[in-house]
Chain A
Amino acid sequence: MTENVTTENVTNDPIIVCEDVHKWFDDFHVLKGITTSFKKGEKAVICGPSGSGKSTFIRTINRLEEHQRGTIIVDGIELTNDLRNINLIRQEVGMVFQQFNLFPHLSNIKNITLGPMKVRKLSKRQAEEDALALLERMGIADQAYKYPSEVSGGQQQRVAIARALAMEPKIMLFDEPTSALDPEMISEVLDVMRELAHSGMTMLVVTHEMGFAREVADRVMFFDEGVVVEEAAPADFFDNPQHDRTKLFISQTLQH
């Protein structure tokens, strides 16, 4: 079954609006005018060759990268240099990294409770209760009191997802969440992401997992050299790509 199963969650209200977003690294023009919007509950998979700007793009959405031209509006708040806005948006936008970036000096559960306690000002008891519930949902409740270095890569990434979810974000960004994992651990992370998609979360996922894209995404965006070359529903994208560059990319990624 590759039928899209989550469309019913998508509403018509845009939650992220990007207007002509540009970004340079020194002289290198990484993003060359991205204009798009994402609806509440939408799941977008972003793919493209490395260096195409796809990671940079989702990192501009929680201001880990600063865009230098254009506007980005997340949940009605425009991203500017105003620190208060940035912190507000970061509370609404969770992020999962390729290298997990768990805090190695804290146990798994403390990795999760830190944000809720320090930013959302939850009590320790409440934060721990929530964290254990999240770990349960991730299927790793028994790993709560271990340190990140003591659990497998797949488990670390699930802790990282729980850490992001503990802030009760409206949007989740995934930056190649399975690229650093051994093959047998990829599916356990994808399962969790699939479950999250079904729960109606707005998700922007940079990934090379085309099976996941086909199954879960409402829209697949193909980035190349800083522009969105093509975007379409997964069925159209994979079976009927319009641009030569997209065709080449799909044939290359689906070969193996």
Chain B
Amino acid sequence: MEELTFTPEIKPPSTKKDPKRWLKDNLFSNWYNTLLTLLAIVLLYFLFKGVYTWVFTQAKWEVIPPNLRKLSVGKFPKDQLWRVGQVIYVLAVLMGLSAGIWKGLNQQITSAVACVGAVIALLPIQVNTSLREAAIIATTLIAVSYVLGRDLQNLKRWVIIGWVLMFPWMMFMLHGFGENSISTILWGGLLLTLILAVVGIVACFPIGILLALGRRSQLPAIRWISIAYIEVVRGMPLVTILFMGSLMLPIFMPGDFRPDKVIRAMIVLTLFSAAYMAENVRGGLQAVPRGQYEAAQAVGLAYPQTMTFIVLPQALRSVIPTIVGQFIALFKDTSLVSIIALTEVLGTADEILGDPKWTGYQPELYVFIAVIYFIFTFAMSHVSQIVEAELGVGKH
């Protein structure tokens, strides 16, 4: 019998390149690529130079510190700011506990928030003491409750109840009661932007799922109502719906029933996004093969169980990018509520600019607002990437 000969192990050819080689391959491989590279370098130079000189020498940033409170909370009375503080602190404790108990994604989101808190606490510019104070307390609370949460696994249920009660509690806390109550008209700035965005995002998600399921329902009545709702809402601009919700709805409502303006804006934003969310989710539902339904049925799962445990998890994870895109759009669309005289962060900026003292400060203020928007939207898309990795999208 012939003896087996083993082929010697051969290492794969190295794909690493030295920098010189890399430059030549990627930037200067032929004459027109060389030309493009040089052009790009010149362009980038002027761009950076322009940005740098404006940001560090020309821009009049003195508009920001004195208006920081207004941009944060609008016309919320100064002596009532502790209410906002209370909300933030409770939120900080809940986030810290969640991060400690569940780890994973909660941990990532919470540490991102804690970083923002720490940055605000350490801002080198002159901010009023209450903001710095709040940031320090909030960041500390997150850290402490995180450490506690790691050892308090049996708090799980209470933390979930806490999150559920968070919204009514926040509304109650910010609004107050009796003589000291603060009309929601005074809510403004980033506070209002965040409240509208978070409420809209959290509420439009389940409604969107129900509409998507409704559109695929076997029951004609449910199907047609869902289709009509989705198509009508998608066929109208948000501004129009906000207008109708704010100005026309009270006309149709019986008697003195006039829901609060902010509540109305929340409802409109939620219902508007839900229509788009429904179509995103429906796209995901269509990607789930029939065999999955059959397998679920064959193990005896009923329709709600099949949807909850088999179909929706697969449908949703396949459309995470579109869903998060929708959330980001909603976040930015909150700026449209200025059309019904609510002053969220962008509206507040316009108000500040209306003050003769601050005319001519548009670029600085708008750039500042843009950076705020960017921080939040970038955080959202970053979180969505973490979620995708966590759920193993594309892997299994």
Contacts and interface: CB of A to CB of B under 8 A. Distances in A.
Interface in B298-354: 298-302, 305, 309-310, 313-314, 317
A90 B300 contact: yes
Interface residues of A, number: 28
A93 B297 CA distance: 11
B395 A103 contact: no
Contacts of A149: 395-396
B56 to A, nearest CB: 50
Contact of A105 (B291, B297, B299, B314): B314
From B295, B297, B302, B310, name the one whose CB has the most chain A CB atoms within 10 angstroms.
B295
Contacts of B294: 64, 95, 97, 101
Per DSSP, chain B at the interface is helix
Nearest to A160: B295
A103 B291 CA distance: 10
B301 A115 contact: yes
B219 to A, nearest CB: 14
Interface string A167-206: 1000000000000000000000000000000000000000
Nearest to A110: B309
Interface size of B as a range: 20 to 34
Contacts of B299: 90, 94, 114-115, 119, 163-164, 167
Contacts of B298: 62, 64, 90, 93-95, 97, 164
Nearest to B295: A101
Interface in B118-138: none
B396 A150 contact: yes
Contacts of A103: 292, 295-296, 310, 314
Contact of B300 (A87, A101, A102, A105): A87
Contacts of A64: 294, 297-298
A238 B392 CA distance: 49
A152 to B, nearest CB: 14
Interface string A140-178: 000000011110000000001001100100000000000
Nearest to B291: A101
B59 interface: no
Given A90-B300, A97-B295, A105 B395 contact: no
Nearest to B395: A149
B300 A115 contact: yes
Interface in A74-102: 83, 87, 90-91, 93-95, 97, 99, 101-102
A153 to B, nearest CB: 15
Nearest to A99: B291
B391 interface: yes
A95 B300 CA distance: 10
A186 B205 CA distance: 44
Given A104-B314, A105-B391, A147 B309 contact: no
A115 B29 CA distance: 60
A95 B291 CA distance: 12
Interface string A47-65: 0000000000000001010
The 5 closest A-B pairs by CB, nearest first: A115-B299, A147-B396, A101-B295, A101-B291, A95-B298
Given A87-B302, A95-B298, 5 more contacts: A101-B289, A101-B291, A114-B299, A114-B309, A164-B299
Interface of B: 289, 291-292, 294-302, 305, 309-310, 313-314, 317, 391-392, 395-396
